[in-house]
Amino acid sequence: MRDVYLIGIGQTKITKNAGIRGRYLAKQAIDEAIQHAGIDRKQIGMLVMGNMMSGMLTQQQQLGALTADVAGLRGIEAATVEAACGSGAAAARWGFMSVAGGFHDVALVCGSERMTHANLADTTAALATAADWELEGYKGESFISLNARLMKLYMEAYGVSAKDFGHFAIAAHDNGLNNPMGFLQKKIDMDCYLNSRMLVDPVKLLDAPPVCDGAAAVLLATEEVARAAHRKGLPMIKVAGSAIGTDSLALDARREILALDGVAISTRKALEQAGIKNEDVDIYELHDAYTIITTLSLEAAGFAEKGKGVHFGKEGEITPRGKLPISTMGGLKSRGHPVGATGVYQLAETYMQLTGTAGENQVPDPEFALVQNIGGTGASVVSHILQRCA
């Protein structure tokens, strides 16, 4: 395989009811990424789109060809990748493989999602298609109810209370205050968290991500292209590992309901590819869609012992200057979770961290970052290792 580098990023501000159609959100992010990379559009050989719900909420499929046309890239190889809420990182995985495998020297990855133009009931139903319809969906389960089930089981199994999850939401919102692209720029404290509206017991409003719209793009390229486009004063960013791990969609079909095996598998594979161990990771940009998923991800990825993930970070370990920073630009909880775009936002934000351009949220001198995007309640998990190079 050839080495792959991340050379350009683009992000739209995450919004609600902005009235901008999805194709133009994607074009904005793509134009910014191309300009940031400093390459010619003619160098791009492939466009991979990450999206989950366009066909259901806007009756529009074929986003690859559509976006390529709108973005001035008509004629190139283009397609859409769907892996529920992990669609953005899955698209990046496809782009990584196209460059690593020698099919293209430059691959453009874009994640986009519009969620707020539809009524909430339709959006909730569309999101629920990422669960197992035969075993969960037809019974009326939603992602809120499924995560509530996980959270309740965890509380019962390990004797913890709702308050024990609050520091994850508080830390994410603290970081989100300094993200100009973020959606919920609102500081919260424990009282605010505990008194937030109950959605499905025990999941409260501040345990869950907001419904929103957005698009992000990254450019992946060979070392030769990356060096030609390299900006003086900034390090090069290598994609040192890329992997997908899967599990059953239905919670009841899993080996252990409180174990995210997909997280464990993809983390292990990505770390092995990069030739590093957990202790080498300086940033864990995890998929904090719900505070229970943050908890279970920390355990499955090997950063916390089973049953103790909920307590990780209570002493400041997860802040930008802590032992293992997470949600460094607000995460899904504060930045927002436009589902098909989330994984690409994570990669763009981590690029900023590794190049020292993350502003007030800058993590001191990071070298390796684990970036993880989850589809469903853990059925599709995509992990990338980004490495700062000279």
The enclosing H or E element of 183 equals none
Q: 85 an active-site residue?
A: yes
Closest CA to 375 of 133, 130, 171: 130
d(CA 365, CA 295): 26
Residues 6+ apart with CB under 8 A from 189: 170
Q: Token digits for 123?
A: 């959006």
Residues 6+ apart with CB under 8 A from 330: 172, 173, 175, 176, 177, 179, 182, 184, 336
Identify whether the C-beta of residue 343 lies closer than 8 Å to the C-beta of residue 373.
yes
Q: 192 an active-site residue?
A: no
Closest CA to 344 of 3, 8, 1: 8
From residue 154, how far is each of 97, 131, 165, 307 by CA, in Å?
Answer: 37, 20, 11, 8
From residue 138, how far is each of 80, 103, 128, 132 by CA, in Å?
Answer: 27, 42, 10, 9
d(CA 157, CA 124): 29
From residue 151, how far is each of 14, 145, 203, 326 by CA, in Å?
Answer: 27, 10, 7, 20
**φ, ψ (nearest 5 deg) of residue 301:** -80, -10
Amino acid occupying residue 249: L
Q: Characterize the bridge pairing of strands 106-113 and 46-50.
A: parallel
Q: Characterize the bridge pairing of strands 77-81 and 214-222.
A: unpaired
Instruction: Choose the catalytic residue: 36, 85, 287, 384.
Output: 85
The enclosing H or E element of 249 equals none
d(CA 86, CA 111): 10
Instruction: Choose the catalytic residue: 36, 104, 167, 337.
Output: 337
51 SS3 class:
coil
Q: Token digits for 174?
A: 């603290």
**φ, ψ (nearest 5 deg) of residue 337:** -135, 70
Instruction: Name the β-bridge partners of 368.
Output: 387
Which residues are the active-site residues? 85, 337
